[in-house]
Amino acid sequence: MNLDHVVVVGASAAGLTAAEALRREGYDGRITMIGAEQRLPYDRPPLSKQVLAGTWEPERTALRREDALVEADWLLGTPAAGLDVAARTVRLADGTAIGYDGLVIATGVTPRRLPFGHDLAGVHVLRSMDDALALRKDLLAASSVVVVGAGFLGAETAAVARQMGLAVTLVDPLPAPMIRQFGAKIGGLVAKLHADNGVTVRTGVGVSGLVGLGDQVVAVDLADGSSLPAEVVLVAIGSEPATGWLADSGLSLGNGVDCDSLCRAAPGVVAAGDVASWTHPELGVRLRVEHRMNATEQGMAAAKTLLGKGEPFAPVPYFWTDQYEVKIQAYGMFPEDSVPTVVVGDPAEGSFAAEYHQHGRVVGVLGWNLPRETRKLRARIGGAA
């Protein structure tokens, strides 16, 4: 089939990169960018860091200057509401139908919510620029915040709020922060980092309710019967792939949009970024990676597939997080049964790198305030432990 019109749904990191890659690879047909948000593409990692802290103006997060945007028809503020794979049409929320020859699905994820309390003022989630600005506004007017969920997003927000001078409580049902991502050893260090900076770390206990006075949140009830006073609450308990609009499409939605190793979900349909899962050709497992670097790499890979130049997508995933003066960087995979071994530096000194071993192989490398050495260790991934 001739490729004369590519539609990209989701106008953010993965979608924009895919569109740019199409142009770079010589595609000169039509591109239509469909985005739910009104804003031109912007970068999300600074939202829980510089934007929340107020050190960057929102404009600084722009992924491209307006005069350097890829040539395309931009339909912003118009979410896609349906997909007909057989007829190759995307339906918008306003009813418009848009035909395509090639489709890039890059709708990312949406924050998971608690089953209660989100209608109260002062209760936030954090995914978009609007979310970040609303949270910052409330933090500026408050003296205390409870962060529900101690993954990287909750942990980064706790750090920023501390630096803004608020009293911060970080709550999670698991025994330590970021434990799901990097295991108990690193989780313990992250817990200590926050405690040393004055955060009250309440791990091992879940949230049972949010208490309002009128329509304003005033407390967070915990499962052990205690209650934490709260002027502001951030709920950061993970996310769900934004696939609601694909419910009737017939696409396989087991783990986001399920793709093969070339990022293909159906004839003429590819997916990339946080929303896409694919079979990693070297690891032989289905992955869905919610990291900034992956959005870029997979966006490029998916674009090449649409042009018939696809190759199996086999990245070494990369992730970083900044909390206080600490930068944690992670290359590769960190499965639950892998064991970290410190190979450079010393956790007690505040900078080190650890290899994660599984079945006698190095599967991941994690650096704690040791960027240059950690990058060099990346080459060890896949090799014998």
Partner 1 sequence: MKVLIDQDKCVGAGQCVLAAPDVFDQRDEDGIVVLLQEYPPAELHEDVRQAARICPALAIELDEA
User: Per rule CB under 8 A, is residue 58 in the interface with partner 1?
Assistant: no
Stretch touching partner 1 by CB under 8 A, among 1-9, 26-34, 216-224, 288-296 = 288-296
Binds partner 1 by CB under 8 A, chosen from 37, 45, 76, 81: 45
Question: Taking the CA atoms of the chain, what radius of gyration do you get in angstroms?
Answer: 22
Burial class (CB in 10 A: 0-12, 13-18, 19+), 282: exposed
The DSSP string of 91-109 is: EETTS-EEE-SEEEE---E
Candidates 3-11, 56-64, 141-149, 250-258; binding stretch for ligand FAD (CB under 6 A): 3-11
Question: Which parts of 60-89 interact with partner 1 (CB under 8 A)?
Answer: 60, 63
**8 Å CB contact between 37 and 148:** no
Q: Is 293 in the site for partner 1 (CB under 8 A)?
A: yes
| Binding letters toward ligand FAD, positions 290-319, x by CB under 6 A | xxxx-x-----------------------x
Please give the Cα distance from 191 to 188 (Å, whole number). 5
Distance CA 24, CA 20 (A): 6
C-beta of 372: minimal distance to partner 1 in Å?
Answer: 5
Is residue 371 close enough to count as binding partner 1 by CB under 8 A? yes
Q: How far apart are CA 271 and CA 262, in angstroms?
A: 9
Out of ligand FAD, partner 1, none, what residue 48 binds, judged by CB under 5 to 8 A for its kind, is: ligand FAD
154-193 footprint of ligand FAD as x/- string (CB under 6 A)? ----------------------------------------
Q: How many residues bind partner 1 (CB under 8 A)?
A: 23
Query: Is 80 among the residues that bind ligand FAD (CB under 6 A)?
Result: yes
Which one of ligand FAD, partner 1, none interacts with residue 34, CB within 5 to 8 A by kind? ligand FAD
